[in-house]
Structure 1
């Protein structure tokens, strides 16, 4: 029977995979591809996953594409929009082939509530270890007590008009949208940071230029193209936060979150829950952002 330590390790790896951790994704692929003598390296370029494959001979294109596509569809990585796959012969810089896969489960338009619910069941995607690997891992850590996991919280990375990106709690996100300015109905005599209202699921959603609300400029350069909207909910109130860019969802330990007092301009302190030193990013305060639209 598989030890509790191995089960926990497998679930930890899968959780990292679903969060978009490139090392964990590479580990998952390598476990599946090793029977063909293929190794994988993984990196992110925006929301496109770059997968570099190497083998002594040209990597089996049909096999690797099937493994990667099937695995990623089952894992449902929220930030994933597509995959760029490059096959190499070991030691040769010139690629032997290149292919691209597109996915509908991109970060824009996903239902985060459904994604969070799906994370409660990992049994269908558990990484299986061979008997030799099981024995080796159990010998490495005989009867070692399992430390309780450090509590983590999920955050969405987003870009505002500051040097570093910011974080927004996933628990306060209903959906992420991409809209065009023509879909916004402007309302006269409103504060300048309120762009107007948008028809969201048959309801009127107030849209706020987050940069302008924080006193950091505005989204004027983006208003000619498309806008990223975070549909935020606090208690029974919903608000659309318009931002320059949305990034990946991450699970982070928030122990030691530093108070914003004295670290940022006084006008920003109310909008910030704290500063997460290990990432160099601020955690935004959804309650204050929503309450201060009047």
Structure 2
């Protein structure tokens, strides 16, 4: 049985690498920061709304959501961010990340279970598990559906 899946890998924070399964990713696009429309009184990790294909796409600072320093506070902030657009049952969400790395084939049989002791409390609920790469580094496997269904979005969905 084939257990390899395609994942999109990207940086989280300064040192960490995360992946999300391609099956929930609709599109990856560059978002010019001035085109993000801020929304007052929102959860701190929600950066605002972006006009995507004529639809309102909520954009989230994935690092802030997962307990890392917010992207928006980084000194080397670029004028365009990469957004990973996730979809589940007609709900869309844009995750802003600093840098995309690659498309990787990973064997889901080699995924290890995420124990809460190993990870920040904020990231644990969104982890499906983790992989260890050839350089012995941990790669977090984020669960797209859990991210889309996170309770912090209930305010506007």
Tell me whether the two structures share a fold, i.e. TM-score over 0.5.
yes
Matched position secondary structure for 2:148: helix
Question: Shift in Å at residue 163 of structure 1?
Answer: 2.2
- Structure richer in strand, relative to its length: 2
Partner of 2:142: 284
Q: Report runs of 4+ in structure 1 exceeding 6 Å deviation.
A: none
Structure 1 unmatched ranges of 5 or more: 1-148
Q: May I ask how many residue pairs the two structures share in their alignment?
A: 146
CA gap 1:234/1:162 in 2 versus in 1, 3 angstroms: farther
Q: Residues 206 and 239 of structure 1 are in contact (CA less than 8 Å); yes or no, is this contact kept in structure 2?
A: yes
Structure 2 unmatched ranges of 5 or more: none
Query: Residues 5-38 of structure 1, C-alpha deviation per residue, up to 9 Å, x if partnerless?
Result: xxxxxxxxxxxxxxxxxxxxxxxxxxxxxxxxxx
Q: Residues 65 and 122 of structure 2 are in contact (CA less than 8 Å); yes or no, is this contact kept in structure 1?
A: no
Match among 10, 18, 27 for residue 158 of structure 1: 10
Matched position secondary structure for 1:260: coil
Q: Compare CA radii of gyration and give the structure with the larger one.
A: 1
- Structure richer in helix, relative to its length: 1
The structure showing larger relative contact order (alpha-carbon pairs under 8 Å, at least 6 residues apart) is: 2
Structure 2-normalised TM-score?
Answer: 0.86
Partner of 2:126: 271
Partner of 2:88: 234
The Cα RMSD (Å) is 1.6
Question: Shift in Å at residue 224 of structure 1?
Answer: 4.9
Matched position secondary structure for 1:288: helix
